[in-house]
């Protein structure tokens, strides 16, 4: 039996969805924690709940509210909060995968006006896909490239065959013994988001998480207006500044 190829979007539900990334006057639904409904679990200021506006059919949509600081950002979190956030989020992601209820489970994050997100308050999304396996279209070459830094079983890689284009950064980790490695992975993710937001002309990014065989991959994807070559022909582009970016990241964040 073939896998579902298109997700159906519920436009009626989407109409009532609050949005405050462009319109700053709208009150933030994630700050008003008293009014949150269908909370599944929480740890301190980190809250896992069902998405109030589940616009995608054949899915189970959940949200991780990362912090109670509305205008904070992942690149600014203290190490302890960063570690707690990723331990909690990965635990829930694995829990949904292991439940056997979904064909696959995606974990991702939107940040900034070009990311596709609608709420400014820092959050991630865990979505169970009932009939679709996200891994079908992903090829390993999309995570390959030059290693910028490595710590044990966790490495930070810049794509030389990007999925979409330009400075795509990847973090790869061996899933076994993941408790210790999640901390290193979260540090690399934070470094990448900090670099994108502060050292190249980029105000938006996505994080995409993949679990393939015994590995976990994270793609830290800078967002710009999408290239027409990619939209029309699936042709990704590579920046000719790749070597400068590697040098700059090593100098800024790593001592080699
Ligand atoms: Zn908020």
Domains 11-135 and 138-253 agree in fold: yes
CA of 197 to the centre of ligand 1 (A): 20
CA of 27 to the centre of ligand 1 (A): 8
CA of 17 to the centre of ligand 1 (A): 15
Superfamily name with CATH number, domain 138-253: HIT-like (3.30.428.10)
- Structure tokens given for 220: 């830290």
The pLDDT tens digits of the residues spanning 24-73 come to: 666 899 999 999 999 999 999 999 999 999 989 999 999 999 999 999 99
CB 188 within 8 A of CB 171: yes
Exposed (0-12), middle (13-18) or buried (19+): which is 91, by Cβ within 10 Å?
Answer: middle
β-strand pairing of 154-159 with 215-222? unpaired
Mean pLDDT of 105-115: 97
CA of 85 to the centre of ligand 1 (A): 17
CA of 154 to the centre of ligand 1 (A): 32
Q: Which CATH architecture has domain 11-135?
A: 2-Layer Sandwich (3.30)
**Residue 103 reports pLDDT greater than 70:** yes
d(CA 116, CA 105): 19
What pLDDT does residue 3 have? 76
Would you state the torsion angle of the CA atoms of residues 228, 122, 144, 188, taken in this order, to the nearest 10 degrees? 140
Residue boundaries of the structural domains of the chain: 11-135, 138-253
Task: Give the whole-number percent of the chain exceeding pLDDT 70.
Answer: 96
């Amino acid at each position: 039996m073939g896998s579902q190829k298109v997700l159906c979007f519920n436009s009626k539900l989407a109409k009532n969805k609050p949005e405050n990334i462009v319109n700053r006057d709208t009150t933030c639904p994630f700050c008003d924690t008293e009014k949150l409904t269908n909370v599944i679990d929480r740890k301190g200021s980190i809250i896992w709940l069902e998405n109030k506006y589940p616009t995608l059919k054949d899915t189970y949509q959940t949200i991780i509210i990362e912090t109670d600081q509305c205008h904070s950002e992942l690149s600014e979190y203290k190490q302890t909060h960063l570690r707690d956030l990723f331990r909690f989020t990965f635990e829930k992601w694995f829990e949904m995968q292991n439940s056997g209820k979904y064909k696959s489970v995606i974990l991702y994050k939107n940040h900034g006006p070009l990311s596709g997100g609608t709420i400014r308050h820092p959050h991630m999304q865990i979505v169970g896909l009932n009939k679709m396996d996200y891994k079908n279209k992903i090829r390993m070459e999309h995570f390959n490239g030059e290693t910028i830094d490595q710590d044990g079983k966790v490495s930070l890689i810049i794509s030389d065959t990007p999925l979409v284009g330009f400075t795509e950064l990847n973090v790869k980790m061996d899933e076994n013994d993941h408790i210790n490695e999640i901390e290193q992975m979260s540090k690399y993710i934070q470094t990448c988001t900090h670099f994108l937001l502060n050292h190249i002309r980029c105000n938006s990014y996505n994080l995409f998480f993949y679990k393939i065989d015994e590995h976990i991959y994270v793609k830290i994807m800078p967002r710009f207006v999408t290239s027409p070559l990619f939209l029309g022909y699936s042709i990704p582009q590579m920046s000719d500044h790749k070597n400068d970016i590697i040098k700059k990241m090593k100098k800024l964040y790593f001592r080699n």
